[in-house]
Amino acid sequence: MKYLYVAATQEVEREALAAVTARVAAEFGGPVRGMELGSVDFAFDAERRQYGSIPVLDMLLRRCPQDAAKLLAVTERDLFIPVLTFVFGQAQLGGRVGVVSFARLRQEFYGLAANREIFLERAYKEALHETGHLFGLVHCAEPKCAMSLATTVRQIDLKDDAFCAACGTRLRRKPEGTQV
């Protein structure tokens, strides 16, 4: 049997990790397994003071368990790809591994007072978004769909933490289905 894994780097707050894992399990129909990843300091870029998402994905591929159909990692580190200033997350389209960064989902990042409810809502949406990519979904034109492209937290806030009917249908049509 193959499982959907939700893995976390060492600094991720466990309570938030549990909430996100539960949300992913509910959406994709479990069973979901957990995994500890330790540190991602190897991906640190001193010049940019951020973490490269490409080396993180490479590490995930190397450490992906045999029984993992998909592996979604969460980290508190701020991720980037060379051409962009940051990414909220990245996943192999239709592949095995993806990562979500919580760093820019927190109000504190923008100098605002912490708000746990807002942070968790954003975390759910981004976790669903990157997992959707793992199942082969591309960005959706429906702004409320979890698969719509968000390049700002404001755009994330406008989304629902659910797939639109069309993306939901596409997910169910996948050979492996949403059940892994």
Partner 1 sequence: MKTHWQILVVDDEEVMCESLAAWLREDGYVVDTASSGRDAVEKAGLRDYAIYFVDLKMPGGMDGIETMMQIRRLHPEASIIIITAYATVDTAITAMKEGAQEYIVKPCNPEEISLLVNRIIKVKNLQRENTILRKKLTRQYSVHDVISKNPRMQEIMALCGEIASLRSTVLIQGESGTGKELVARAIHNSGDRASKPFVAVSCAALAETLLESELFGHEKGSFTGANQQKRGKFEMAGAGTIFLDEIGDISPKLQVDLLRVLQNRSFYRVGGSEEVRVDARVVAATHVNLQQAVADGNFRDDLYYRLNVIEIRIPPLRARREDIPLLAHHFVERLSHELGKDVSEVGEGALRLLLDHNWPGNVRELENAVERAMVTCRGPVLTESDFGFLAQTAAPATAWAVPAGMTMQDMEKVLIAATIERTQGNIKEAASVLGIDRSTLYEKIKKYEIQR
Strand, helix or coil for residue 10? coil
Dihedral pair phi/psi, residue 106, rounded to 5°: -90, 140
Does position 158 interact with partner 1 (CB under 8 A)? The reply is no
| Residue 7 three-state SS | strand
Segment contacting partner 1 (CB under 8 A): 49-57, 61-69, 117-125, 160-168?
49-57
| Least separation in angstroms between CB 159 and partner 1 | 15
Looking at 17-25, 28-36, 63-71, 74-82, which segment touches partner 1 (CB under 8 A)? 74-82
Which CB atom, from 18 or from 141, has the smaller least distance to partner 1? 141
The residues annotated as belonging to the active site are: 130
According to the binding rule CB under 8 A, does residue 101 interact with partner 1?
no
Binding positions for partner 1, 22-41, rule CB under 8 A: none
User: In the chain, what is the straight-line distance between the N-terminal and C-terminal CA atoms, in Å?
Assistant: 8
> Distances from the Cα of 12 to the Cαs of 47, 65, 81, 98, 155, in angstroms?
24, 20, 21, 16, 24
Between 10 and 85, whose beta carbon lies closer to partner 1? 85
* CB burial readout 89-107, b (16+ within 10 A) else e: bbbbeeebbbbbbbbbbbe
Nearer to partner 1, 16 or 50 (CB): 50
